[in-house]
Structure 1
Amino acid sequence: MNEIQSSSPQSRGPADHSVRDQIVEAAGEHFSHYGYEKTTVSDLAKAIGFSKAYIYKFFDSKQAIGEAICAQCLSKIIAAADEAVAGAITPTEKFRQLFKVLVATSVNLVFNDRKLHDIAAHGAGEKWPSVRAYAEHIRQILTEIVREGRESGEFERKTPLDETVLAIDLVMQPYVNPLLLQYNLDLVEEAPARLSNLVLRSLAP
């Protein structure tokens, strides 16, 4: 599984993963009740029962904790996308499955859990490293699908590869970016299939 990494400050301090996990889990619960924006590290320290200084041994800021939560969520979405693409045979089907699973998994994970939505949306707005890594991974998948489609003769070869991938990525953004997906939830059932058809028609040789 390709895990999305949070920013480097998260790895500071003692290598006690059980304590890190405890902080992240408790922080997620606290964020779900009070919201990411309104919560301070002092609030988290009181809720968890640790001193503020002790939390800072593991995370250098509230953002680092938020990134750890965000990275876990995005890693699950990427894992589902990778599995869907691996299970498809043709480049055309790989693209359809990628788009469909990215949207479905994002909705299930992010929008059925308010704390994850708030953190993911904040991370997307602030362009956290974990969010940038997630976006880059999607572009890498798209690049491989388009390249394979060109080699097999399913897709046209005239348009530069990077231009094609960028255009497809832009079409997908309203449904895979947490900051934008919240405004398009009414269309998540039909949009992936309709937009996939549009993209695939444009890729036809």
Structure 2
Amino acid sequence: MKPEIPVVLPHRGPALHERREQIIRAALDHFRHYGYSKTSVADLAKAIGVSSAYVYKFFESKQAIGEAVCMHSLGQIDDALREIVHTNQSASDKLKELFSSLLSKSLALFFEERRLHDIAAVAATNHWSSANNHRAALYSMLKQIIVEGREKGEFESDTPLDEVCMAIAGVMTPFSHPLMLEEKTPEQLEERVLVITNLVLRSLAK
């Protein structure tokens, strides 16, 4: 299924307000140490020396705070992947690196930052906007690489573009979804991402 168009997350209070950023930093710290489910809005309010009511001036719910934290964490992955798209490599090499980097950065975020894995799993399972935006960003980068490969004669161009992108996005999912990543060891995932990438490149060859 084609990813949804990215959305701007709703929030209360001035978007660039220093206090809003302070709440997000406190949430990131608490989620890392205690997990999303064990952190309350009252905990965050206490950490920055304000009342819970004051926090609600900026975020309508605990989920909205979680969305902001997820957007921050997943955005770091997206930023790193965009750098690959804008290199001078061939489209084939960009696609290889996109697959491998997606896996390595997802593993680092979700397992080295174990508590953040928990909130990412909640976001993915409940289709939070932050998770949907991440999928849409990946789809957009993938599409850009495929178009470039077609224009330079690396990839075939007979198959409808969206059909190709949706198929490849589908096989990328096990290398970024927080729950699916738990089903295999890192070594198994690294072996599988190489096999899948090579298969995708063979299917794209002109």
Output the TM-score relative to the length of structure 1. Answer: 0.88
Equivalent residue, structure 1, for 2:98: 98
Note if contact 2:84-2:98 (Cα within 8 Å) is conserved in structure 1: yes
Note if contact 1:174-1:180 (Cα within 8 Å) is conserved in structure 2: yes
Cα shift readout 1:46-88 (whole Å, capped 9, x = no counterpart): 4443211011011111011111111111111011101122224
Output the TM-score relative to the length of structure 2. Answer: 0.88
1:7 counterpart = 2:3: no
Deviates further, 75-84 or 102-111: 102-111
Equivalent residue, structure 1, for 2:21: 21
Equivalent residue, structure 1, for 2:143: 143
Note if contact 1:175-1:188 (Cα within 8 Å) is conserved in structure 2: yes
Equivalent residue, structure 2, for 1:114: 114
Cα shift readout 1:83-106 (whole Å, capped 9, x = no counterpart): 122224211011001111111112
1:64 counterpart = 2:64: yes
Equivalent residue, structure 2, for 1:85: 85
Listed as ranges, the gaps of 5+ residues in structure 2 are 1-5
Code of the aligned partner of 1:188 = L
* Count of aligned pairs: 200
Equivalent residue, structure 2, for 1:170: 170
CA distance in 2, matches of 1:48, 1:185: 39
Note if contact 2:35-2:116 (Cα within 8 Å) is conserved in structure 1: no
Listed as ranges, the gaps of 5+ residues in structure 1 are none
Offset, 1:131: 1.3
Equivalent residue, structure 1, for 2:183: 183
CA distance in 2, matches of 1:50, 1:5: 30
Offset, 1:14: 4.2
Code of the aligned partner of 1:141 = M
Code of the aligned partner of 1:200 = L
